[in-house]
């Protein structure tokens, strides 16, 4: 099960995309008719952007917009049968994490539609098993991810907090420049950027980072000169998510400063995955880590792959303090409508642990509001809202009903 506040480690299948990306020529998306631009709404789910997608005229399906993937990925294996998808061959993917390799299928010649855009013939990788279980992470049905094919086809401006993006034809670049321009490089069909970080006594460390809108963390530092990245003075042990081959462990702490372009970001939360689980296995493009959507959403951001740049303009949330979960419980969504929330993991010596909560307990209500009336985002934000805040929980454990107050506590 994916951690509720950390990155979805979907960008960690870099070696997979490096292997299969060149097998098919990737046709681009285009507007239907004579459109020059379109405003497209998306659903916010655990810090990610989910767009409605149609494949071969069928749907709707929910896909995460993820700059961290090259080839389109169908994570729900049931779509292979329901869409009667043809595939060239079956391959094994060497994953990241503690488990075994998994199987995937390569399927070309798909017609994919997002809003008023269409790709007449593109390709996808179909996982043989839904190892990410993205729906329980996001609190809504998730069928896959789409990245490079979509982002390379347009100039895309994202207004995360407002919940929409504007898609422009690439020829309109002079009309939409807005914000501070930062050069990027597109390598193995993914965007990379040069930044600087202060970690403890080490100042202005130059870093090469992948820009990953499909990651639910702010920052992840995976590798430093071929070894684990030095940890800050204060950190906690954490379950950081899941890779293709199982759970990924590590630590969560804070950087003193993170500089992207001319913007200084003070005291951001940062993940430090075990080097042997992640850094040692990412070999396609040498990098230090990734920048996720929990940091990117503090900007109005424009992606212009054609001209190898992004534009950043801070929004109203830029100076909001970064916070990590203060309850010590990791939740997942279940049920036909993903409106039932269960505890997957309890952090030792956390407020949830001290209260006596256990794995598989079901959360019924928080502050007398049934969780069935709350989104996963709303619950997540509540659990990291303010140190010392009292939250009244109603819990179901088998036939036993528990009630009581949990006081949030900042742990990093």
Taking only the tens place, the pLDDT of each residue in 312-343 is: 999 999 999 999 999 999 999 999 999 999 99
Instruction: Tell me the CB-side half-sphere exposure of residue 395, using CA atoms within 13 A.
Output: 21
* Model pLDDT, residue 184: 98
Q: How far apart are the C-alpha atoms of 219 and 211, rounded to whole Å?
A: 10
Q: How far apart are the C-alpha atoms of 345 and 171, rounded to whole Å?
A: 49
* Model pLDDT, residue 14: 39
Q: How far apart are the C-alpha atoms of 335 and 13, rounded to whole Å?
A: 29
Q: How far apart are the C-alpha atoms of 81 and 103, rounded to whole Å?
A: 16
Q: Which two tokens stand for residue 61?
A: 């399906």
Closest by alpha carbon to 156, among 9, 42, 22, 316?
Answer: 42
Q: Which two tokens stand for residue 323?
A: 């916070």
**DSSP E strand boundaries for 200-324:** 202-211, 219-221, 235-243, 246-254, 257-260, 263-266, 269-273, 289-291, 299-304, 309-314
Given a contact cutoff of 8 angstroms between Cβ atoms, the answer to whether 332 and 1 are in contact is: yes
Q: Which of the residues in the chain have pLDDT under 70?
A: 1-27, 88, 92-101, 173-176, 242-246, 283
Q: How far apart are the C-alpha atoms of 139 and 160, rounded to whole Å?
A: 18
* Model pLDDT, residue 11: 39
* Model pLDDT, residue 256: 95
Closest by alpha carbon to 325, among 387, 393, 384?
Answer: 384
Per-residue pLDDT tens over the stretch 244-275:
556 788 999 999 999 999 999 999 999 999 98
Given a contact cutoff of 8 angstroms between Cβ atoms, the answer to whether 180 and 252 are in contact is: no
Domains of the chain, each with CATH number or no CATH: 9-176 (2.40.70.10), 180-298+306-314 (2.40.70.10), 329-407 (2.30.42.10)
Given a contact cutoff of 8 angstroms between Cβ atoms, the answer to whether 139 and 126 are in contact is: no
Q: How far apart are the C-alpha atoms of 29 and 276, rounded to whole Å?
A: 37
Q: Which residues contact 287 (CB under 8 A, 6 or more apart)?
A: 192, 208, 209, 210, 222, 223
* Model pLDDT, residue 173: 66
């Amino acid at each position: 099960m994916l951690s509720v506040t950390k990155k979805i480690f979907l960008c960690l299948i870099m070696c997979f995309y490096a292997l299969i990306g060149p097998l098919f020529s990737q046709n681009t998306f285009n507007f239907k008719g004579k459109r020059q631009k379109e405003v497209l709404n998306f659903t916010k789910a655990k810090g990610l952007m989910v767009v409605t997608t149609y494949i071969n005229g069928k749907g709707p399906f929910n896909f995460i917009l993820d700059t961290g993937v090259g080839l389109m990925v169908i994570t729900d294996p049931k779509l292979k049968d329901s869409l009667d998808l043809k595939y060239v061959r079956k391959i094994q993917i060497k994953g990241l994490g503690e488990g075994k390799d998994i199987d995937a299928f390569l399927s070309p010649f798909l017609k994919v539609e997002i809003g008023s855009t269409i790709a007449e013939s593109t390709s996808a990788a179909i996982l043989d098993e839904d190892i990410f279980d993205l729906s329980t992470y996001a609190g809504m049905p998730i069928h896959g991810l789409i990245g490079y094919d979509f982002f390379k086809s347009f100039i895309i401006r994202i207004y995360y907090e407002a919940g929409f993006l504007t898609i422009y034809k690439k020829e309109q670049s002079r009309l939409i420049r807005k914000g501070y321009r930062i050069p990027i490089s597109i390598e193995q069909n993914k965007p990379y950027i040069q930044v600087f970080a202060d970690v403890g006594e080490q100042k202005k460390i130059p870093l090469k980072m992948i820009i990953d809108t499909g990651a639910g963390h702010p920052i992840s530092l995976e590798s430093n000169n071929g070894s684990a990245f030095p940890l800050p003075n204060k950190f906690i042990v954490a379950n950081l998510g899941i890779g293709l081959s199982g759970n990924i462990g590590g630590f969560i702490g804070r950087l003193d400063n993170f500089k992207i372009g001319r913007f200084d970001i003070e005291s951001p939360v940062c993940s430090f995955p075990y080097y042997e689980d992640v850094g040692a296995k990412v070999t396609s493009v040498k990098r230090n880590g990734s920048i996720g959507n929990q940091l990117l959403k503090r900007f109005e951001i424009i992606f212009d792959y054609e001209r190898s740049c992004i534009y950043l303009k801070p929004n109203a949330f830029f100076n909001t303090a970064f916070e990590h979960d203060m309850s010590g419980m990791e939740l997942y969504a279940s049920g036909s409508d993903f409106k039932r929330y269960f505890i997957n993991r309890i952090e030792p010596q956390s407020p949830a642990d001290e209260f006596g909560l256990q794995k598989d307990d079901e959360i019924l209500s928080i502050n007398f509001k049934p969780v069935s009336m709350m989104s996963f985002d709303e619950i997540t934000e509540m659990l990291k809202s303010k140190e010392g805040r009292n939250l009244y929980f109603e819990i179901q454990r088998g036939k036993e009903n528990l009630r009581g107050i949990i006081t949030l506590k900042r742990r990093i």
